[in-house]
Amino acid sequence: MDAFYASVEQRDRPDLRGRPVIVGASPGGRGVVSAASYEARTFGVRSAMPISRAVRLCPQGVYLPVDMDKYQRVSTEIMAILREFSPLVEPLSVDEAFLDLAGTEALFGPPAETVRAIKTRIRAETGLTASAGLAANKFVAKVASDLRKPDGLVIVPPGTEAGFLAPLPVERVWGVGRVLAEALAGMGIATIGQLQGIPASTLERRFGEHGRHLHELAFGRDDRAVEPSTAAKSIGAETTFGVDCRDPEQIRRTLRRHAERVARQLREERLAAARVTLKLRYADFRTLTRSHTGDPTRDGLELYRRALTLLDREAVREPVRLIGLSASGLGPGEQGQLPLLDPGAVRRDRLGPVVDRLTERFGEGTLRPASLLPRRSGRE
């Protein structure tokens, strides 16, 4: 979908059409932009940008809070339209999905005609525009879908993937962020075509297994199937401090709260997580992530201990703007060797669902770890 949150707001409020609309944090706050209309983008406003910078770039913009319930309702309508054309729909988020059209020609005609029909249906039924990429695999289709927004359609015929990708910047390759892009630039690689010219063995020596994956994607090779399952791949929580935090104790207490919140959601989904990831963003917006993989767990204390180990390794000495914890490597909740974690692990595993039921009945904070209780002067 094109500038989804902002486009929904412009659809529902005709007075906003043609005006720069920015959906996200409060203009006076410390959060980020969730979506920017195309009018706002002409001023340089982009999603994930600090809201304070957006205000400086576009002070005349209309700033609106995120209304996730509304966006989710519209998303449900759009996904229902997609499923009328194929049962193989893999949502990536509320406003994006992969659709496998293989075998639908007898019903809807050639894939290109089908994609045009889908775009027409979405616009007719929701009043919103969508951009699409049509290709032989997920990676190339995703790249294509981003190239002619808004209301675009880019078709990449099978066999032309490498030539299609060659002139594009290397950042278009999945997994190439700022750090990896800088490393590739140091090798003289700025475009995907230049990446194609590097032997896979060289990339693998430089970047490990990820290097071989980069080589495959550079030529547009991606054999992953469209997976209609919508199971969560990770569960997380994060906080942006109102004032950059220098207090190690406050940082730890915030991390502990996140661990309990993530653990509760794991139990609700009957899942356990093998991988814990710590996210830190400093006052200058530098962001780092560190991960640990161990036995699957849904225990808040164990999640916290693993995240705290990662935090302690960083020896944080700078003000922290944001801290987050996420759990991935998800599997059935009964996995894991609970007795091996610590003597209280089995007891906590049994206690967790009881706490969840009390929280659901009486509200957040009904029961919580003693370390999260308000501190009183003169007491530990």
250 with 342, same domain: the answer is: yes
| 343: pLDDT strictly greater than 60 | no
**Which residues participate in catalysis according to the annotation?**
96
Residue 59's pLDDT is 97
- pLDDT tens-digit readout, 276-312: 999 999 988 888 899 998 888 889 999 999 999 999 9
314 with 363, same domain: the answer is: yes
Residues 6+ apart with CB under 8 A from 212: 200, 203, 204
Q: Per the structure block, which two tokens stand in for 89?
A: 């729909």
268 with 138, same domain: the answer is: no
355 with 336, same domain: the answer is: yes
- Report residue 380's pLDDT band, with 50, 70 and 90 as the boundaries: very low
256 with 300, same domain: the answer is: yes
- Report residue 269's pLDDT band, with 50, 70 and 90 as the boundaries: confident
CATH number assigned to the domain comprising residue 51: 3.40.1170.60
Q: Per the structure block, which two tokens stand in for 101?
A: 């059209």
Domain assignment present for 331 = yes
Domain assignment present for 150 = yes
Mean pLDDT of the chain: 88
Give the chain's domain count.
4
- pLDDT tens-digit readout, 141-187: 999 999 999 999 999 999 999 999 999 999 999 888 888 899 999 99
User: Which value, to the nearest 10 degrees, does the dihedral of the CA atoms of residues 40, 46, 52, 56 take?
Assistant: -40
- Report residue 379's pLDDT band, with 50, 70 and 90 as the boundaries: very low
User: Which value, to the nearest 10 degrees, does the dihedral of the CA atoms of residues 120, 124, 126, 128 take?
Assistant: 50
Place of tokens 């509320």: 94
Residue 368's pLDDT is 56
Average pLDDT over residues 346-362: 55
pTM above threshold 0.75: no
* Burial call 255-278: b when 16+ CB within 10 Å, e when fewer: bbbbbbbbbbbbbeeebbbbbbbb
| 201: pLDDT strictly greater than 70 | yes
Residue 356's pLDDT is 55
- Report residue 337's pLDDT band, with 50, 70 and 90 as the boundaries: very low
Domain hosting 48: range is 4-66
* In the chain, % of residues over pLDDT 90: 66
- pLDDT tens-digit readout, 71-126: 989 999 999 999 999 999 998 888 999 999 999 999 999 999 999 999 999 999 99
Residue 344's pLDDT is 54
CATH number assigned to the domain comprising residue 128: 3.30.70.270
Cβ atoms of 189 and 198 within 8 Å: the answer is: yes
241 with 350, same domain: the answer is: yes
Q: Per the structure block, which two tokens stand in for 159?
A: 């066999």
276 with 368, same domain: the answer is: yes
- Report residue 267's pLDDT band, with 50, 70 and 90 as the boundaries: confident
